[in-house]
Amino acid sequence: MKILFLAAWIFSFIQISILSQCKIEVFVISSLPNNQKVFITGNKPELGNWNPDKIPLNKMNDSTWSKIFEFRTGEVVEFKFTAGSWDEEALDEAGKVSGNIALKVSKDSVLVFCIDKWGNSHLNFEGQITGNVRYHKNFPGRSVLSRDIIVWLPSGYDELSDKYYPVLYMQDGQNVFDPSTSSFGIDWQIDEVADSLIKTKSIKDIIIVGIYNTPFRGVEYNNTTLGSAYINFIIEELKPFIDRVYNTLPDRQNTAIGGSSSGGLISFIMAWEHSDVFSMAACLSPAFKIKKIDYVAPVKFYLGAHKDIMLYIDNGGIGLEEQLQPGIEEMLSALKEKGFVQGKDILYFKDSSAEHNESAWAKRVYRFLEFMFPIKK
C-alpha cells in the first residue's frame, strides 16, 4: 500500500477557535470485484472504534472510494482499511498486514492511498500490542499447570498511583492481545478496542488480564473436576495476586470474566457459580450444550434467588456456530425463565455471517466492553 500524495487544502479564512476543526479527505484507489465495499476503521468513533465493517467509504467509480472527516487540530488519528473484515485488510507491497496509519491532525488535508492487495497475512504478522502490558511467566498453580499471564494496563496507569480500576479476566490470553502469540495468528485486538473506547470515554478505564491456556484447555474449560480446579486457581491464586500487585477494584461489582467457545462456557460457569466474585461474564460463541457438554440443565433446574450478574452472550451463524446455536437458544430461554431481561442484565447478539474464529470475535469485542463497563452519565 502506497501513500501517493498528501496535499494541503489552503483556505482564505482564519480559524480563531483553539479547538479548530480540520477536514481530512481520504481517497482509496484499488481494484475490487463489483459491489465490493471499502471500509476505514480506526481509533475514533468517526472511524468505527476499530470495527472493520462499520464505516464504509463512498464509491466514486469502480476503482475509487472516498470520504471526508473532521478532526480537531492536534488529534492523533490511527486507522486502517478493510474490505469488510479483518480477513480482508489492506496489505502492503510485500503482501503483509502493515501497522496502523498514524496522522497528527494539523491542517486540512487530502490523503490518497493506492491498495493493490487485500487479504489476511496475519500468520506473518509481527507482534503488535497497543498500550502497556506486563508479563508474568509460568505463573504457578497448586492443582493446575503453570501458565503465562499477560496484564494490559490503560493509558496513564503508571502516572496515577491513587486510581483504582475494574478488572476483566480473559480466557485464552495468548489470543486476545498479540497476533504473534495467538494460536491462529490472529488476535482479538482487545487492546486497540479498549484503548480507543477509553480515550473516547465510551467505557471506564479498565485492566485486562489474559490467562494463557494449556494442553488441558478442553478439560479445564468445562464443568469437570479439572475445570473446578481451574476456577479455584483463578479465584484463590491469580485474582489475589493481581489485586495485590495492581491498583484494582477487587469487589465483585468491578470484576468480570470472558472468553469464547469453551472459554465462553467456563466464563459463564464462573459467574453463575461464583457471583460473589464475578458480577459480569462475556460469553462469545459459548459451548453451552453440544455433544457431551450440557450446562443448560444446571441453569434450568436452579431454584435459588435471582443471580445478580450481567451476561453478554453472542454467536455467529457459519460452521460450528450453527451447531452451538440450539444450546445457546436453550440457555437464553432458561435465563429468561429465571428473570433475566434482554438489554438489562443480559445482552444477546447474533451475527449470522460470522464464523467460529478470532477474527469474528474481534469484531464483537466492543459490544461486551460497552455493555459491561459503561460510563454512567
Please answer whether residues 113 and 4 qualify as being in contact, where contact means their C-beta atoms are separated by less than 8 angstroms. Answer: yes
Whether residues 65 and 156 share a domain: the answer is no
Q: Once rounded to an integer, what is the mean pLDDT over residues 262-273?
A: 98
pLDDT of residue 224: 95
Portion of the chain with pLDDT greater than 70, in percent: 91
Q: Tell which of 66, 94, 124 closes a domain.
A: 124
Pick the residue with more confidence: 330 or 126?
330
Whether residues 148 and 231 share a domain: the answer is yes
CATH number at residue 205: 3.40.50.1820
pLDDT in tens, 11-68: 333 343 445 899 999 989 887 777 789 999 988 899 988 888 999 999 977 778 899 9
Does pLDDT of 293 surpass 50?
A: yes
Rounded to 5°, the CA angle 281-198-136 comes to 65
Whether residues 46 and 137 share a domain: the answer is no
User: Is residue 144 a part of any domain in this protein?
Assistant: yes
Whether residues 263 and 149 share a domain: the answer is yes
Q: Which three cell numbers stand for residue 222?
A: 468445562
Please answer whether residues 326 and 287 qualify as being in contact, where contact means their C-beta atoms are separated by less than 8 angstroms. Answer: no
pLDDT band at 342 (very low <50, low <70, confident <90, very high): very high
Q: How far is CA 307 from CA 142, 302, 303, in A?
A: 29, 10, 11
Specify the DSSP element, H or E, that contains 311.
Answer: strand 310-315
Phi and psi angles of residue 112, each rounded to the nearest 5 degrees, phi first? -120, 130
User: Is residue 377 a part of any domain in this protein?
Assistant: no
Q: Which three cell numbers stand for residue 153?
A: 494496563
Chain-wide mean pLDDT for the chain? 89
Please answer whether residues 176 and 264 qualify as being in contact, where contact means their C-beta atoms are separated by less than 8 angstroms. Answer: no
Rounded CA-CA distance 257/211 in Å is 11
Listed in sequence order, the DSSP H helices in the chain are 190-199, 217-220, 225-232, 239-245, 262-273, 296-300, 320-337, 358-362, 365-372
Rounded CA-CA distance 250/235 in Å is 11
Pick the residue with more confidence: 2 or 117?
117
Rounded CA-CA distance 72/224 in Å is 54
Whether residues 105 and 175 share a domain: the answer is no
Whether residues 82 and 141 share a domain: the answer is no
Pick the residue with more confidence: 255 or 61?
255
Whether residues 110 and 155 share a domain: the answer is no
Buried b (16+ CB within 10 A) or exposed e, 149-171: bbbbbbeebeeeeeeebbbbbbb
User: Is residue 214 a part of any domain in this protein?
Assistant: yes
User: Is residue 331 a part of any domain in this protein?
Assistant: yes
pLDDT of residue 256: 98
Sign of the C-alpha dihedral computed for residues 161, 167, 173 and 174 taken in this order = negative
pLDDT of residue 363: 92
Partnered with residue 313 across adjacent β-strands are: 283, 348
Q: Tell which of 124, 157, 174 closes a domain.
A: 124
Domain count along the chain? 2
Q: Which three cell numbers stand for residue 302?
A: 436452579
Residues in the chain: 377
User: Is residue 279 a part of any domain in this protein?
Assistant: yes
Q: Is 306 exposed, middle or buried (0-12, 13-18, 19+ CB in 10 A)?
A: exposed
Closest CA to 363 of 249, 260, 250: 260
pLDDT of residue 60: 79
Whether residues 115 and 16 share a domain: the answer is yes
Q: Once rounded to an integer, what is the mean pLDDT over residues 205-225?
A: 96
**360 DSSP assignment:** H
Whether residues 90 and 140 share a domain: the answer is no
User: Is residue 322 a part of any domain in this protein?
Assistant: yes
Partnered with residue 111 across adjacent β-strands are: 6, 26
Show the domain range for 17. 2-124
Does pLDDT of 261 surpass 50?
A: yes
CATH number at residue 114: 2.60.40.10
Whether residues 187 and 80 share a domain: the answer is no
Phi and psi angles of residue 102, each rounded to the nearest 5 degrees, phi first? -115, 135
**How many other CB atoms sit within 10 Å of the CB of residue 337?**
11
Whether residues 188 and 337 share a domain: the answer is yes
Q: Tell which of 124, 157, 188 closes a domain.
A: 124
Rounded CA-CA distance 241/14 in Å is 56
User: Is residue 329 a part of any domain in this protein?
Assistant: yes
User: Is residue 225 a part of any domain in this protein?
Assistant: yes
pLDDT of residue 119: 80
Q: Which distant-in-sequence residues (6+ apart) come within 8 Å of 258 by Cβ? A: 168, 169, 170, 171, 264, 267, 281, 282, 283, 284, 312, 368
Please answer whether residues 37 and 76 qualify as being in contact, where contact means their C-beta atoms are separated by less than 8 angstroms. Answer: no
Whether residues 160 and 293 share a domain: the answer is yes
